[in-house]
Structure 1
Amino acid sequence: MPIIVPSRLAILLMALGVPLGLLIAAIFPQAWTFSFAGIAGLGAAIALDALMTRSSRRLSVEVDCPTILFVGPNNEAQLRIQAENDEALPSHMLAKLDLGARLDAIPPADVPASGELTFQLQARQRGLTEIEAVWLKWRGPMGLCWKQVRKSLELERAINPDIRTMQADAIRLINREAEFGMKTQRDRGDGSEFDALREFVTGMDRRSLDWKASARHRTLMAKEYQTERNHNVVLAFDTGRLMCEPINGMTRLDHAVHAGMLLAYASLRGGDRVGVYGFDARPQIMTGLVRGQSGFGKLQSELAKLEYSTFDANYTLGLTRLSAGLNRRSLIILFTDFVDTIQAELMVENAARLAKRHLVVFAVFQDEDLNRIITREPETADDVTRAVIAEGLLQERRMVQKRLQRLGVEVLEAPAESFSSDLLSRYLQLTREERI
């Protein structure tokens, strides 16, 4: 049902008419009844303007929105408004989308004469959301009122991790075919896994000579090696309360998911097997290990299921369950965060136990708020106090990280902007050093 709202012009005229009517009643007391004639006439004009306004039943609305949205900006929704019999749309029409809680609100936009309008949707979190309705608002021919109507849509959409940025980073960081062509690179001579025997030629490493094979063939034979493949890579996500705090408009968990997707893409492409694990107060998701580019879609759907939690992470239960599910040495990327040494005590203890059998990479985000407080020039005594407290918290973070490193855990701390590329570089370094 349409709603009639007085325009700013009508409110202004009504506000001017009240003191004018009181002035007439004060000067001509006998004519006080006529002082309300102007107000009544203005009310009648507003009612007439509402009757003359275009009916909402003659307008149809269509919204073209992708079936899958991505966390972050640049999700487009096309809005098309048409009038019956190809009539012109009302002048001064505004449109606004009624969005779900996981999408940022969009201010009303002017509808062009063509009736086609593009909205840029900003998704804050993964999960399911709705585009519930479209609000339309247009002005009457005399400009004294607005007619407002709500067109129900009830469009449900899934918000997934943003693979578009991942693809751009993958092309920039790991697309080796751009230089060497489309053939698979086997990296012969760069690893420790035996590949083949070949006749020794001048220039080859003499340490690769196989004397037994040389005796059988009655000529010098050398071993060729290639980079080891088929590693197990596990992306372990702490989905607890601290990981749900925002950084640069997105939660830490979403930044970690984007970095994990880039790493999974590179690992699957390199021949490794990748799995996903999530936990907060208890284990939530544990997938099997997949391989090949066809497994990336499954990992993407599993990563989209990681829920935001309000509970603190239980490292004892979570990491013990993870260790029990792995039957061979693996590379475990642990995406988590902590505040102080007391909270990190159980995390350090269980990470160290996990590092005795597996290679663990402890991936955290730099605390930009603390760095900003420390580097800002103090103006008051309170600013000095905040800087001292922030420096103490950063010192505690460094103590925890150094303790993890002494226990054999790799530590990666990077800002959110470069977290994905730094993590991928660390993974490539570990595989190149054959530490898995």
Structure 2
Amino acid sequence: MVTRRFAALLAVGVPVPALLPWPWLGLLGVLIFAVACAAADFAVAGPLTRLKLRRDGDRTVWLGATATVTLTLVNTAKRPVRLQVRDSWVPSAGAWPQRHDLWLGRGSTRQVTTTLNPVRHGDRPAVRVTLRSYGPLGLAYRQRRRSWNDSVTPPWTLRVLPRFPSRRILPEKLARMRVIDGSVVARGRGHGTEFDVLREYVIGDDVRSIDWRASARHNDVVVRTWRPERDRRLVCVLDTGRTSAVRIGDTPRLDAAIDAALLLAVLAARADDRVDLLALDDTIRTRVEGGSHRTKVNRLIDAMASLEPAPAETDYTLLARDLLRRDRKRSLVVIFTALEPAPMIEGLLPLLPSLAARHRVLVAGVRDPALSELSRIPWAATASDVHTAAAAQRALLERDRVHEVLARFGATVVDADARSFASRVADVYLLLKATGRL
């Protein structure tokens, strides 16, 4: 194949025969000369079949961070190769640069690095490495078929983990967890239900915790310490139906739910509780069960990375069947969904009494702050502004009504904006943990 340099050569040479007595013969001579140069350049271009490719680099990265993947090329031929390498990835991988120009001598090895800035979580695979060998004049190049390029492309998939912005408040929640667990003595520490150890009284302890018999034996004031129950079960249910695709500000509702579920899973793992994951819409997308407390968090993060909203209504009967038929131990079931009347009334509400009778249910939904802004009537309001505010106020009233109905059926409800959503969900878990109601 010829290059743009070949076309430039023709553009320069074609006007020259007009100055000769026989312009057509001159034009034919120019064409023959250009084609001969391109053919010689093509013949001299290094072979592609003796190139070996392999990849190294990052396998996982958090969304918002940068990953690097290195492509190593080895020339096993007896001739040098002037290469143009195009390393193609899916568009959402944010690969840059995609084209590399390099010179490979006989038996030499070169590496090219591609920087990836993914814009979506999930698996971001490498598509194809296209190799093009140029001649020394740059007039022609060798390039094999797409199927051949596919066969020599080393497979590579970058797993992009979802955003975890609530990681910044994790130390605060862990400090509260240590207070609840009794590792840190603090005024107002919540009591668990399992006896832990006896220790000396310090200022700030509840006098009702004093063990008078043990104090008499030790000739000192001794108090009983209690710790929250361990090895409790927490089930995070992620709604991946159509309502999870709604954007709350700049964040999809599903991403906000994943962030809150990650914070909850880390806290529960530190508290030695068992954490399971169930993601569903019209079918069960992901289920993570079993495993140790520490290693399961990595499995949960890996499973959440591949979740995407589905254009389907969520079938909560799948959740009821999974929890009521298979599980008999009481658990804390946290359902991350949209607190909207239609999906609640038709989907979750009919099943909520049976779920609440067997498990403790927490329903968590992200509130859109733009709805509260629209509900306010501006000073110089037009008729359109009044109608918009009335519609927003009606939507908020319906949301509050859903909140009341869920609470009446025995569920705890968390309704907060995206900034405080994960923190509010974690606070409810810590409160239940401190009061022994898990």
Same fold (TM over 0.5): yes
Q: Distance in 2 between matches of 1:346 and 1:313?
A: 10
- What's 2:362 paired with? 361
CA offsets, 1:263-289, max 9 Å, x none?
Answer: 212211112221222322244555546
Q: 1:410 aligns with which of 407, 413, 422?
A: 413
How much is the aligned-residue C-alpha RMSD, in angstroms? 5.1
CA offsets, 1:203-261, max 9 Å, x none?
Answer: 753434568x5899799987523241323211112232343567899865455445423
2:7 matches 1:6: no
Q: Distance in 2 between matches of 1:373 and 1:118?
A: 48
Q: How does 1:32-111 map to 2 (within 5 A)?
A: 32-66=24-58, 73-84=65-76, 90=82, 93-99=83-89, 103=93, 108-111=98-101
> How many angstroms does 1:79 deviate by?
1.2
Q: Distance in 2 between matches of 1:207 and 1:112?
A: 78
- What's 2:224 paired with? 224
CA offsets, 1:98-117, max 9 Å, x none?
Answer: 44688556552334678322
Write the letter of the residue equivalent to 2:55: V
Change (3 A) 1:263 1:358: same
**SS of the residue aligned with 1:142?**
coil
> How many angstroms does 1:336 deviate by?
2.2
**SS of the residue aligned with 1:410?**
strand
Q: Which runs of 5+ in 2 are unaligned?
A: 104-108
**SS of the residue aligned with 2:312?**
coil
2:183 matches 1:185: yes
- What's 2:336 paired with? 335
- What's 2:268 paired with? 267
> How many angstroms does 1:314 deviate by?
0.9
- What's 2:106 paired with? none
Q: Distance in 1 between matches of 2:368 and 2:8?
A: 51
Change (3 A) 1:82 1:404: farther
1:111–1:117 contact (8 Å) kept in structure 2: no
Write the letter of the residue equivalent to 1:6: T
Q: How does 1:198-213 map to 2 (within 5 A)?
A: 205-208=206-209
For normalisation by structure 2, the TM-score amounts to 0.70
**SS of the residue aligned with 2:35?**
helix
Change (3 A) 1:258 1:140: farther
Change (3 A) 1:155 1:252: farther
**SS of the residue aligned with 2:131?**
strand
Q: Distance in 2 between matches of 1:371 and 1:115?
A: 58
2:236–2:333 contact (8 Å) kept in structure 1: yes
Write the letter of the residue equivalent to 2:349: E
Q: Distance in 2 between matches of 1:314 and 1:221?
A: 57
- What's 1:428 paired with? 430
**SS of the residue aligned with 1:10?**
helix
1:329–1:357 contact (8 Å) kept in structure 2: yes
Q: Distance in 1 between matches of 2:169 and 2:121?
A: 23
**SS of the residue aligned with 1:79?**
strand
Q: How does 1:103-122 map to 2 (within 5 A)?
A: 103=93, 108-111=98-101, 115-121=110-116, 122=118
CA offsets, 1:102-136, max 9 Å, x none?
Answer: 85565523346783222233373535x65353123
1:232–1:272 contact (8 Å) kept in structure 2: yes
Change (3 A) 1:68 1:87: farther
- What's 2:130 paired with? 135
CA offsets, 1:120-172, max 9 Å, x none?
Answer: 33373535x65353123455433334544536235254737459x58965864
1:352–1:409 contact (8 Å) kept in structure 2: no
Q: Distance in 1 between matches of 2:326 and 2:198?
A: 38
- What's 1:313 paired with? 314
Change (3 A) 1:313 1:255: same
1:137–1:148 contact (8 Å) kept in structure 2: yes
Change (3 A) 1:5 1:279: same
Q: Distance in 2 between matches of 1:385 and 1:135?
A: 59
Write the letter of the residue equivalent to 2:341: T
Q: Distance in 2 between matches of 1:433 and 1:299?
A: 27
Q: Distance in 1 between matches of 2:233 and 2:126?
A: 40
Q: Which runs of 5+ in 1 are unaligned?
A: none
For normalisation by structure 1, the TM-score amounts to 0.70
**SS of the residue aligned with 2:334?**
strand
Q: Say which is worse superposed, 54-63 or 283-292, in terms of deviation.
A: 283-292
CA offsets, 1:313-335, max 9 Å, x none?
Answer: 11244235324444344322212
CA offsets, 1:269-313, max 9 Å, x none?
Answer: 112221222322244555546553244355456556767644321
The alignment of Structure 1 onto Structure 2 pairs a total of residues equal to 413
1:331–1:359 contact (8 Å) kept in structure 2: yes
